[in-house]
Structure 1
Amino acid sequence: MNDKREMLLNQSMGKLFVSLALPGMAGMIVIGLYNLVDSIFVGQFVGPAAVSAVAMGYAVILVNQAILSLFATGASSLFSRAMGAGDQKTMDALLGNVFWPVALCSLVLTAITFSFAPGILFALGAREEILSLGIDYLRLLSLGFVFGAVGPALNFLIRAEGQMKTAMKIMALGTITNIILDPIFIKVLGMGMEGAALATIIGQSLFLLGDFAHFRSKQSSINLSRKSFRINWPLMPEIIRVGFSGMIMSLAVAIQLSILLSLSSSYSINSNIVMSTAFRIMSFFYIPIFGISYGLQPVLGANYGAGRFDRVREAFWYFGKVASAIAVGIWLFFQLFAPFILSWFITDGEIVAEGSRQFRLFLSSFLFYGLIAVFIMLFMALGKAGKGALLTLGRQLFFFIPLALLLPYMFGEIGLWLSYPLGDLCVVLFGMILVRSELKLLKRPHYAGQ
């Protein structure tokens, strides 16, 4: 542990970025590929309606991610702060606090989703072909929710150790398996939507096995034993307090996606298909940006725990500048190559041509996403759950929902496409105010986490 702690406390930000953020980006890309490749393969082999069906299933997956985020985000923040303070006892106690709550809650979600899949999808705007395809996909996928939640949740602890490369390799194992099996199950074996779901479940199972293989190895900072699988109840309030903002983030995205799918369905099936595709692409490309912030999290947490507030500020600015530069580059890619990107998922040239303008408009705020990611992570890493939740809720709910309801009423369908980027702009301005205040506090000589 001492070598990792010293690295986080003393290594230059450039080296830390290379060793933590780049693997973090790659690892998050790997996670994002799970559902993205499902969308691509079903779009090419089943049809455009299948893309919307997978997107509606993704809204339920986000609820599963909210469950794992509640415990994994809080535990990883606590883990990195304990590492900075040299508290091995706390580090060893966190695995059980992640494993059991996530597994049990995911099993409950499986029972609900399998039983009520038709009603859930209908509420999201699914009708006729989209509804039929969505039921096939979601019911089978729900049987693997426990693997899809516990694997990523435990991987949070590996990233909190500062072992981003190991975390990325484990994630890659599951994703590559999924990518290989998708075309075989969907096309070759003729399983269609159920084939996409089964490939995902198998990949996620290998993900979980990879996590446990790491914790049993000498590379892990956790001293694994039977006690590791016990819930340490005194730690749970802090885990939930900090992880609340991570949970809210996923739930808010699920609500946001549900609103977008439902409202776009009221215009036309083509509008719904393009909205589903645009949201999936946005989510996938935002993931590596947020991966930078996950690389930033152990640096912030360890230095905060050690009282190195100057390094906290330095890390925030360094990682934030790089994340912003990458976000601007991705934004340019969206604006210049919209038809090409849409054609990955949609084989109907008419839908691609009509949807390119809407796609560009929807993703016009992506250049701010580097700032949004590091703003949120600053508060999560420092244990400032309230401010982190405010930013998260601001982005997904407080600004977006009023705009999504008001702008279509004023401007028609184009107002719906405008509501998302305008909501992002509002949260960036709000975030600047919160971050400026926090960075001022960190400059105080006797700052102690006020």
Structure 2
Amino acid sequence: MQKAEKQQANPLGCVPVGTLLRRFAIPSIVAMLVGALYNIVDQIFIGHSIGELGNAATNVAFPLTTSCTALALLFGIGAASAFNLSMGRGERKKALYYIGNAAVLMFGSGLLLCLITQLFLEPLLVFFGSPDNVLGLAKEYVRIVSFGFPFLILTTGGAHLIRADGSPRYSMLCNLIGAAINTVLDPLFIFGFHMGMTGAALATIIGQIASAAMVFFYLRRYKAGPFTKEHLRPRFMYAGYAMSLGMAQCFNQMAMMVVQIVMNNSLKHYGAMSIYGESVPLACAGIINKVSFIFFAFCIGIAQGMQPISSFNYGAKQYGRVKRVILLSMGTGQVICIVAFAMFQLFPRQIISLFGSGSELYFAFAEQYFHIYLFFTFANNIQPMSSTFFSSIGKPKQGTFLALTRQILFLLPLLIILPLFLGMDGILYAGPIADFLAAVISACFLLRELKGMGKG
């Protein structure tokens, strides 16, 4: 009886699901959009000040940002899911260890990634697909932004820890402050002080440090209870379980990084054999992938808003509420995907023009990339939503498998095989084929889970 009363006292277990999803998803969406803004703002100002080569440089550097996101999700989403599952079961004291361990591991992993980047900067950028005429700009940018990796990881992952504690608005504010600082400082440093790529990099890390400071301030006053040194000492029984729940999202990001590296090298190789040359495909793909992430941020934000609700109620065995929140999340994400699909098909030139001028070949390739590579945008919410859902209910194996379907099982082999026969067109057609196959498999997994939920 006492356990049931605690569950009902927690808003996650008794407030209407639609109300909860709005409360948690809207700040998550804003936070994801703000994260996308970091890259988009840099891209816009760099495009207008430096041009195509500057945009290509940020694209070459982007796998490192993806690595930061992967580590943040590994510890952040994993610990948040473990925390909410434990709270749903009434294991309050145990729950705090997941949060403390995650915070320490996030910052520590950022320091390690920064060190590796500084030691192997040029070989890494060449491996990521940098042409010779882009390498200097990429090195100038990454040499500085790498110092922000610990703060970026703590901010991105810490947002999940804060949201799990029932403070989605504060998690949103952490990201907003950093983005606002970056947006103000970018034009000041790039155009006012004529600092070019260095200015864009400095603006980025200053914003990240400010956001991380806000996360640190919140964690010191965590609502679920105060942290002790024991909570902060990494222990495998807590860190290992949290990492298993965050593995799906981490693998998804790592898969994206691997695909991006292969994509960059393929665009460079087949671009040199085409009328576009090496740099134009790299610049266009970098911009368009970041633009597509703006719409994708809505879907991921909804999935992240769903996570604490589904985790808590699954732990409390309130399966009807679990089903309602995933179906509502899926329906909302589907509407957003359809709107994004229409925009990408109807207004590709207008969108790419926001990022500076270019040759006619530059715009022609951008339009083709939008029309073909992003054709199945209208179904792109199914796979990430399903993957997050399985992880949130304590089923990391299914979540990890679904996270790998699009990037590793389908897109990566297609990126290697299709261009052998179709050249540059093979790269473009690999995207929609992978999107379709991943959506079908994810839908089958999700329907089977919902049908059997609560019957075992």
Normalising by structure 2, report the TM-score. Answer: 0.93
Matched, 1:326 2:305: no
Matched, 1:127 2:128: no
Preserved contact between residue 4 and residue 161 of structure 1 (Cα < 8 Å): no
Counterpart Cα distance in 1 of 2:17 and 2:96 = 28
- The aligned amino acid for 1:173 is I
Matched, 1:433 2:436: no
The match for 1:229 among 229, 232, 237 is: 232
Preserved contact between residue 91 and residue 222 of structure 1 (Cα < 8 Å): no
The aligned runs of 1:200-349 (5 Å cut-off) are: 200-217=204-221, 220-266=223-269, 267=271, 268=277, 269-349=279-359
- The aligned amino acid for 2:258 is I
Q: Deviations over 1:34-53 (max 9, x none)?
A: 11211111111111111111
Q: 1:436 to 1:173 in 2, by over 3 A?
A: same
- The aligned amino acid for 2:212 is L
Q: 2:369 maps to what in 1?
A: 358
Counterpart Cα distance in 2 of 1:130 and 1:251 = 24
Q: CA deviation at 1:155?
A: 1.7
Q: CA deviation at 1:114?
A: 1.2
Matched, 1:377 2:388: yes
Q: Deviations over 1:171-222 (max 9, x none)?
A: 10111111111111112111111111111111111111111222344x7334
The aligned runs of 1:390-401 (5 Å cut-off) are: 390-401=401-412
Counterpart Cα distance in 1 of 2:442 and 2:255 = 17
Counterpart Cα distance in 2 of 1:377 and 1:293 = 6
- The aligned amino acid for 2:11 is M
Single out whichever of 202-211 and 148-157 deviates more from structure 2.
148-157
Counterpart Cα distance in 1 of 2:22 and 2:438 = 29
- The aligned amino acid for 1:42 is I
Q: Helix, strand or coil: the match of 1:399?
A: helix
Q: CA deviation at 1:65?
A: 1.9
Q: Helix, strand or coil: the match of 2:438?
A: helix
- The aligned amino acid for 1:153 is G
Preserved contact between residue 289 and residue 326 of structure 1 (Cα < 8 Å): yes
Counterpart Cα distance in 2 of 1:414 and 1:132 = 29
Q: Deviations over 1:32-82 (max 9, x none)?
A: 111121111111111111111111111111112222222212101101112
Preserved contact between residue 32 and residue 301 of structure 2 (Cα < 8 Å): yes
Q: 1:190 to 1:51 in 2, by over 3 A?
A: same
Q: CA deviation at 1:135?
A: 0.4
Preserved contact between residue 300 and residue 312 of structure 1 (Cα < 8 Å): yes
Matched, 1:191 2:195: yes
Preserved contact between residue 5 and residue 302 of structure 1 (Cα < 8 Å): no
Q: Helix, strand or coil: the match of 1:143?
A: helix
Matched, 1:21 2:12: no
- The aligned amino acid for 1:286 is F
Counterpart Cα distance in 2 of 1:28 and 1:79 = 21
5+ residue gaps, structure 2: 272-276
Q: Helix, strand or coil: the match of 1:221?
A: coil
Single out whichever of 95-104 and 286-295 deviates more from structure 2.
95-104
Q: CA deviation at 1:428?
A: 0.7
Q: 1:412 maps to what in 2?
A: 423
Normalising by structure 1, report the TM-score. Answer: 0.94
Q: CA deviation at 1:232?
A: 4.1
Preserved contact between residue 110 and residue 150 of structure 2 (Cα < 8 Å): yes
Q: 1:163 to 1:418 in 2, by over 3 A?
A: same
- The aligned amino acid for 2:310 is L
Counterpart Cα distance in 2 of 1:349 and 1:37 = 22
5+ residue gaps, structure 1: none
Over the matched positions of the two proteins, sequence identity in percent amounts to 27
Q: CA deviation at 1:147?
A: 0.8
Preserved contact between residue 144 and residue 202 of structure 2 (Cα < 8 Å): yes
Counterpart Cα distance in 2 of 1:346 and 1:408 = 29
Counterpart Cα distance in 2 of 1:255 and 1:231 = 29
Q: 1:354 to 1:395 in 2, by over 3 A?
A: closer
